[in-house]
Amino acid sequence: MSVQVVSAAAAAKVPEVELKDLSPSEAEPQLGLSTAAVSAMAPPAGGGDPEAPAPAAERPPALGPGSGPAAALSPAAGKVPQASAMKRSDPHHQHQRHRDGGEALVSPDGTVTEAPRTVKKQIQFADQKQEFNKRPTKIGRRSLSRSISQSSTDSYSSAASYTDSSDDETSPRDKQQKNSKGNSDFCVKNIKQAEFGRREIEIAEQEMPALMALRKRAQGEKPLAGAKIVGCTHITAQTAVLMETLGALGAQCRWAACNIYSTLNEVAAALAESGFPVFAWKGESEDDFWWCIDRCVNVEGWQPNMILDDGGDLTHWIYKKYPNMFKKIKGIVEESVTGVHRLYQLSKAGKLCVPAMNVNDSVTKQKFDNLYCCRESILDGLKRTTDMMFGGKQVVVCGYGEVGKGCCAALKAMGSIVYVTEIDPICALQACMDGFRLVKLNEVIRQVDIVITCTGNKNVVTREHLDRMKNSCIVCNMGHSNTEIDVASLRTPELTWERVRSQVDHVIWPDGKRIVLLAEGRLLNLSCSTVPTFVLSITATTQALALIELYNAPEGRYKQDVYLLPKKMDEYVASLHLPTFDAHLTELTDEQAKYLGLNKNGPFKPNYYRY
């Protein structure tokens, strides 16, 4: 595998620019939903201008035999639909409720313009000038972390760190480290952990078939040649597979962590050992966090031309500190709800100066990450923290969206008695039809053994609910932020907190009643369990394709707006994961394709299709 690396010459020197929060403005932005084709990934063999008529002979299906090298990374490119954006005022557009609270506008021709979701969590940035040389004490580091964005602080320990030595208190910033080739352009906890990290990466590769397939297909074809990607994501074995795939596709990468707790030190070491400039370690302070991001972008002789962000912090940093860099940047790929929301804000304010791809709302993310990931990981998170048995237990799940559906399905399969609360009659009806009792939380709060929130909302479980829970009731959250359970209301003098295990607190009432609070109300699965690599593979592949698409898109295909991944690429991501199951996809006959009005190579559904 060829991994291109880049060396940083100079240490970061950060200009003193004050960072300010961006407040959401009143008017909702308009988001153009691109259905532009992805033919740029497979030029000249029938690709070329996306607005041009489809080639006479369609390219073979992506997974079909005989795809030439040019088509190696391409979904089957058919006729290229034009990207479109529509105004909300257009009376011909129907409004669809967006799952996250916004709306999708559906035009008569089926094109969809997505409006942004309502604000759930505003990114908060350090509002002081950064003084990188003043580093906080160990205790100070924790408290500082509060002003980092939520996504930066949600604990995400998708795999245990096998090699961490708690004895080593030296900040990585104070260590002089070199990899075996003498390269020192990185900052990780301990480069000597590289071998363990490499093993983790190799294990992850087994469950990330699509990225491995992209690497194979890219032999000789480098769709990211010349790409200089700066990334800010969780640094886990799965991210490492993504980064090494981007390297194999021709990109140079520099990477920081989007979360101060989530870095797997051994994986970061393995990446540094193989030449990736990685700046991340588990337990960064806030000051470290921004320093690491800065080391990725403030490099002599190297400027990024693509951004891969998770949470929006990196994008924000470049906007605030190095706005001129955007002259060379071809696009932003953003994964998280929070970061995407921020992009919408920039777009609305007319400040988005490059095209951005919203990976968070692509079907392959929403349906797989939210539903299947939670279906698999809810039990794991509960089991690891409490050793509980699920059979016969009474559970109430608040919210029957994708995450709620996944949690309910898993618990039902284990023999739990599951109640659901909902505010939306459609989701409520779904819960009823799926065989769950729809209740108000008050009705069952005294009797349930477990309360799980997955609404994305705030104060769903209040102090009043907590007061009424029975002894040993387990309370946890699967939603994005720690707002769903009113944990703050439990920090009162009459209640005693006992930390009984990592991420497990007993909160004890004066009469001896205790509830079991998991992960202090933060995301249970990301804090206390592993999440399935295969699901992360789907998201990572979507990110890789979004980068390829934006990097190769001809001038003008994408404007300074936020786009959803073209449907065809969503389908391609899914198709790359099918061989794992020895799945055999049925092909449309010519007659059937004509009957349905579809291209035989897809896209197979209109953009408003809900799956």
* Residues that bind ligand NAD in the complex, under the rule CB under 6 A: 99-100, 337, 369-370, 373-374, 398-404, 421-424, 427, 454-457, 460, 478-480, 523, 525-526
CB of 19 to ligand NAD, least distance (A): 25
The residue number with the shortest CB distance to ligand NAD is 401
Burial of 506 (0-12, 13-18, 19+ CB in 10 A): middle
Identity of the residue, 32 or 479, whose beta carbon is nearer to ligand NAD in the bound complex: 479
Rounded-to-integer distance, Cα 482 and Cα 570, Å: 30
Instruction: For residue 433, give the amino acid letter.
Output: M
CB of 522 to ligand NAD, least distance (A): 10
**Rg of the Cα trace of the chain?**
24
Rounded-to-integer distance, Cα 342 and Cα 356, Å: 11
Identity of the residue, 101 or 554, whose beta carbon is nearer to ligand NAD in the bound complex: 101
Identity of the residue, 179 or 537, whose beta carbon is nearer to ligand NAD in the bound complex: 537
Rounded-to-integer distance, Cα 265 and Cα 196, Å: 10
Tokens of 371: 């539903």
Rounded-to-integer distance, Cα 135 and Cα 298, Å: 20
Identity of the residue, 81 or 456, whose beta carbon is nearer to ligand NAD in the bound complex: 456
Identity of the residue, 46 or 102, whose beta carbon is nearer to ligand NAD in the bound complex: 102
The DSSP line for 321-343 is H-GGGGGT--EEEE-SHHHHHHH
Percent helix, strand and coil across the chain, each to the nearest 5: 35, 15, 50
CB of 324 to ligand NAD, least distance (A): 33
- β partners of residue 517: 475, 505
Identity of the residue, 229 or 340, whose beta carbon is nearer to ligand NAD in the bound complex: 340
CB of 610 to ligand NAD, least distance (A): 11
What backbone phi and psi angles, to 5 degrees, belong to 109?
-85, 5
Identity of the residue, 141 or 465, whose beta carbon is nearer to ligand NAD in the bound complex: 465
CB of 431 to ligand NAD, least distance (A): 9
Task: Compute the C-alpha angle 395/398/401, nearest 5°.
Answer: 120
CB atoms within 10 A of CB 335: 28
CB of 196 to ligand NAD, least distance (A): 26
Identity of the residue, 161 or 525, whose beta carbon is nearer to ligand NAD in the bound complex: 525
CB of 132 to ligand NAD, least distance (A): 32
Rounded-to-integer distance, Cα 520 and Cα 339, Å: 23
CB of 402 to ligand NAD, least distance (A): 4
Tokens of 17: 């620019």
